[in-house]
Structure 1
């Protein structure tokens, strides 16, 4: 009996769809069983049944001595030979059956090894063939380019930046972004990463992944392209955040930005530099637009107005430095995690200088000496004042925004990240917060982003989206107010310094004077993709075989990390999750279909050769024992091992179904 344990491979969900699951599963299992069947016939074994699926037979027909069947449970298949039956393992030690010269058990150990391994070998061959055909046709992938870098995470601390292209991880070549995700999740210990910065300079860093979640992470997301998000229905899924300049500028889904004013663009990194340097200017953006169903293109110029920060008039207190980027000006100046910035160029942070504007302050002083006074806690003694002088790099502010809950604020130009304390330091006179009665020393507990226009569609499904501020979430809530929630009003829950009672106030954010966002101004851009296509058949064979070897390696690394606890079982997927993702990629195209078939083939080959009774690998273990000991295992051993293996496999299947139904994944 062959069991296809699809659930063991976390990355399965990127290429499935319902049609390919149904067709591909049957085809891959057919090839697997065909391998067993063909070699068994070649060895003159009586094959009693050839089944796709297992469990109750729902259709069968007999040709010659063999019954060909379709069975109810589609996650596997089997070839039933005389003298070999997983359901009745006693046959393997039956003397009556053994006397039949065409019985499986009557064949020599090498012949039986050939029969057992034939399915795996067939799947490796056909899997490689599917990969070869896919790469000859051309495969669309996500480029191995870094987009957002999560502030404070290992990649950020190591100095990896937006626009970097990663070329190698732990000596293994990186072809697309999925290789980065797999290389991180399936690693152990620190990771050696090599790559190229946007300016062409190479880098080599060592990153120790974060292990606080269900899998190892370094904190990066895919790079962005110059293509406006090609959403099929902008009314249901907007390509620009409501309330931002891009929402009403005239962009259309699928537009490709080719030029800004007189500057021709080739990458998102170039666009980002312009947005930072000219953040307070209106920009003439030239786009290439598909018309007539994509058969031709036209050019259009769109004016994109600057985006002012939306504020409540609150100046929050600054917290401690959370992280320092290696090799940054801050690192070279001796700044440490745990320090607190007290003054900058003799300006008191909080009183004279809003902590939220420190990224802009340093970014505007690139190449100039800036003096900082730090407060450093010393164990066993009073805090110390530490003075440092550094020169910020020419890196734009807010190019590493707090995109995730608990993210600190990054100052890219000096390489520090700090949290904001949810305590109000001061309130700007005449601001929305002042009019609502918020005062210094009040503590913000939560912020509700409230949809005021029932017809507005933004990034949130609910009319009210709540962010619990806690100790470290002010920066995240503030960034939502500039982008995803730019079209919403705000409801703040807070406690006064002289009262334990929580009160709620409603505010409408106002635009800040002379403070501009150096970002895409609300425009949502598509991830950067690449097409991997072999120039000739020889190249396709090389790419296909490499992909097959990497896939096999990834499966063994997945199992290793599950055993050693570096990968949580919560990352496993079962049939329900697979079907859900299948809907999302139903229009995958021919090359993705071929990759899917290759993926299934390699998984079936590797997983069925694990040393688990009822799987091919378990049978091979018994044959190795027989070859060494010169005798078959006893009937009791065979029966006990078979039932134990069957219980393990069925238990695993129940586990992943339970995970699909009751365990949420981020």
Structure 2
């Protein structure tokens, strides 16, 4: 059944793409017929003909490559060669395209774009009155940092402005915002410019930044390829995935969650509903759910997080350590890097996700939170409160799980049950040498030995932490930067934490031995080479750990009793996730429908045209990265597929209308093989009184064909790389 649905959605996407092309070609065709031009063929696609049918004098064909189409008219193959003999010497059939006046030929050339423009406008108008499917401009999450053009982390405008989860953006720089698409287009066009937002928060309208405050410019986001606010759209309340334990009568795909434990959640975003569910991690919770148009019902599940593996680290029992305390946190001066959090409000906790879940209810209720800590050999109890940081109420702590290094204590597993580490035989004081997530649990290597911490400076800690993993040796047995991979035969013998330093490095090479005593030399980069003089022969570096004063290398000496086993992790319960969804837009009046159609045409035609020069500008001048923003036929086909499968027919039709408007622009560009190029030739002919000479026209056509094929290959390549996850 699922395969049939996939085929159905794929066919639907292909039919939609072909329909937009058919409408364009029909525009040429109908005006050509109106002008009494003889049409040999009306074709959808290019290449070999798959299906053909003749009605009257015209053959209607479906071709193999659905990336365009054409109308073959009399006169397009029998034109005069302007460089060999005058046009007046060539007899022209009165029904030839070339026999028609300049005005008729212009209208025939414009027929395709007019058909796309009219059909798209009518479709959008109908959708506007029906309820235009839009992603509401509601903030789901604030991204505190974005990657700038130079690769450095930059504070996002949203974080500076103080935007929060659930804020609805009403206007940006004076332009009305109806959807998240409006925000996306606006940020691309105003990258580097100061931004002013009008928002709605808890029923109140606010303007950010406030009057008299410093301006906040939009920043370039290298990952998105253009300007950004640093926000994520809100998820809807409709269930997208259900995984893990699947109880009979549990929530299913497409149902909406109306209440959590008897508390209504109607009107909340998916992120906010997830926050209401988080305190129930590993416990039973009753949900009220309903499918659109059906009566509500109640069901009980054991909540396992947004992903079925969210609670795995809590079941395994990995201790949680504070890696960083954010400057804006109320915990600053109370908690310090290196503190171990053992309990929240009296409940033992393991795993960073489980700890976050335990905090959630108190954070949302703005209550005091009692944390039990271990700081070195001292046990402490501290009372803290949350703060609004990066758009959410949080403690402002960066947490990490101890998956390698010294295990000072073993917390209870989820729900007060013995942890997986305890069941495997790990004891307090043991050293975890390696951890590998696997299906059904975690493969761990551990042993016993004396622990030593070697303090290092901030610069070196930053250099080491910037590696793929903050360890001297990665799990595949090469230096952190891996300048020279180890021989294949050595890979099976080298694992993080099982390699010993033999002597000090010479000429950038670290001599090592594995547990069998066989030598293995690893090339070092400068950051790693700086660390080696701090170590003794036989040391095993197992972790880079935060301390109250900075960072230290955690080193184990005299290691014995090395074991490797799988820590089994049973399913915690049922995981539920949400995704962005569209909502029918409510018109303020009939006139707004026409305004929305005009805005869509302006964005897809005028603003897209104005976007082209930005592809050639540097990032600091409002440039846009074409590799992140352009899409070709494959990408369009995939978008249609996704719209039809996940967002519904209305969203699918809206995208078809946008594709039609985009075809208006593409076909009006003055490229010789497009309608715009033909109009350019016609304009020259009308201005000079004679056609463009044949050799020049042919040269221009070849150049245009090369340009279009090159652009097509570029965009299709980008589409394929994105689809395969390589870009």
Instruction: Give the TM-score band, short-chain normalised.
Output: 0.5 to 0.7
- Matched position secondary structure for 2:221: coil
Cα deviation, 1:357-390, whole Å, max 9, x if unaligned, reads: 899699699699xxxxxxxxxxxxxxxxxxxxxx
Aligned with 2:440 (options 451, 454, 459): 451
Number of residues of Structure 1 aligned to a counterpart in Structure 2: 545
**Greater RCO, CA 8 A, separation 6+:** 1
Distance 1:305 1:603, change over 3 A: closer
Corresponding position of 1:224: 235
Corresponding position of 1:75: 67
Alpha-carbon distance in structure 2 between the residues aligned to 1:204 and 1:495? 54
Alpha-carbon shift at residue 555 of structure 1 (Å):
3.5
Alpha-carbon shift at residue 145 of structure 1 (Å):
1.6
Corresponding position of 1:350: 338
- Matched position secondary structure for 2:705: helix
**Is residue 429 from structure 1 mapped to residue 409 from structure 2 by the alignment?**
yes
Cα deviation, 1:92-122, whole Å, max 9, x if unaligned, reads: 9863576536544455544433332222122
User: TM-score when scaled to structure 2?
Assistant: 0.60
Corresponding position of 1:337: none
Aligned with 1:208 (options 196, 201, 218): 218
- CA contact under 8 A between 2:23 and 2:115: conserved in structure 1? yes
User: TM-score when scaled to structure 1?
Assistant: 0.65
Distance 1:48 1:537, change over 3 A: farther
Alpha-carbon distance in structure 2 between the residues aligned to 1:575 and 1:649? 13
Q: Which runs of 5+ in 1 are unaligned?
A: 1-15, 232-238, 334-340, 369-390, 401-411, 454-468, 476-491, 512-519
| 1:546-625 map, 5 Å | 546-553=599-606, 555-556=608-609, 559-564=612-617, 566-569=624-627, 571-580=629-638, 583-587=641-645, 590-625=649-684
- Matched position secondary structure for 1:53: strand
Corresponding position of 2:298: 300
Corresponding position of 1:371: none
Corresponding position of 2:700: 641
Q: Which runs of 5+ in 2 are unaligned?
A: 1-7, 147-155, 210-215, 306-310, 343-350, 369-383, 412-419, 443-463, 471-494, 500-534, 544-561, 618-622
Corresponding position of 1:31: 23
- Matched position secondary structure for 2:169: strand
Distance 1:583 1:94, change over 3 A: farther
- Matched position secondary structure for 1:179: helix
| 1:104-503 map, 5 Å | 104-153=97-146, 154=156, 156-158=158-160, 159-185=162-188, 188-190=191-193, 191-198=195-202, 200-204=204-208, 206=216, 208-213=218-223, 215-216=225-226, 217-229=228-240, 231=241, 239-240=242-243, 251-253=250-252, 254-260=254-260, 263-268=263-268, 271=273, 285-290=286-291, 296-300=294-298, 302=300, 310=314, 312-314=317-319, 316=321, 318=323, 344-345=333-334, 348-351=336-339, 395=388, 412-413=393-394, 427-431=407-411, 436=426, 447-452=436-441, 471=466, 493-494=496-497, 498-499=539-540
- Matched position secondary structure for 1:297: coil
Alpha-carbon shift at residue 534 of structure 1 (Å):
5.6
Q: CA RMSD in A?
A: 5.1
Alpha-carbon distance in structure 1 between the residues aligned to 2:434 and 2:690? 72
- CA contact under 8 A between 1:315 and 1:427: conserved in structure 2? no
- CA contact under 8 A between 2:323 and 2:397: conserved in structure 1? no
Alpha-carbon shift at residue 530 of structure 1 (Å):
1.4
Corresponding position of 2:577: 524
- CA contact under 8 A between 1:610 and 1:618: conserved in structure 2? yes
- CA contact under 8 A between 2:187 and 2:218: conserved in structure 1? no
